[in-house]
Structure 1
Amino acid sequence: MAHHKSALKRIKQNKKKYLRNKHIRSTLRTFIKRVREAVEAKNADQARQALLAAIPVIDKAASKGVIHASNASRNVSRLTKLVNTLG
């Protein structure tokens, strides 16, 4: 265990950040999964709604630094392309 005050503080900060990032990442994956499930079910309306809900979550995760901006852009692009295949 750390002995310095600053090291103890960093441990607490890292734990808080880890939990926050874990929650955001989990939420992100759930929203992406909803889009994919709607596409697999060939439900165009539900897929579009899920995509519109997922895009802000993806962008927010990128702005918070949980995922890289390129990763967010790639996810949005691929999901949009997937939803557009339904017509």
Structure 2
Amino acid sequence: MANTPQAKKRARQNEKRFAINKARRSRIRTYLRKVEEAIASGDKAAAESALRVAQPELMRGVTKGVYHKNTASRKMSRLSSRVKSLA
């Protein structure tokens, strides 16, 4: 357990940061799931629009430190190639 005032403050800050990051991660996953569902249904127009909405949200996660840049790029690349392959 934290003993010094500084360690106690850092513990409080970590709790707040964890809650914020958890909410961001959940929000991003929701957007990605919407793209996945559109791909699964075979609706190319819906998948493209969902992808357009998900992309800035995923990149915002990068700037906020929730995801690494390469991770987000990889996810976007794979999703966009799957959307393109829809007939």
TM beyond 0.5: yes
- For 2:75 and 2:60, locate their aligned partners in 1 and report how far apart those are by CA, in whole Å: 13
In structure 1, C-alpha distance between the alignment counterparts of 2:2 and 2:73, rounded to whole Å: 39
**4+ residue runs of structure 1 moved beyond 3 angstroms?**
none
Work out the CA distance in 1 between the residues paired with 2:24 and 2:38.
Answer: 22
CA distance in 1, matches of 2:86, 2:3: 59
Cα-Cα RMSD: 0.8
Matches for 1:1-87 after TM superposition, within 5 Å: 1-87=1-87
SS of 1:67 mapped into structure 2: coil
Q: How many residues align?
A: 87
| TM-score of the two chains, using structure 2 as the length reference | 0.95
Shift of 1:3: 2.0
C-alpha separation between the residues in 2 aligned to 1:2 and 1:62?
30
Distance in structure 2 (CA, Å) of the matches to 1:63 and 1:78: 20
Gaps of 5+ in 2: none
In structure 1, runs of 5+ residues without a counterpart are none
TM-score norm. by structure 1 comes to: 0.95
CA distance in structure 2 between the aligned counterparts of 1:31 and 1:2, rounded to whole angstroms: 37
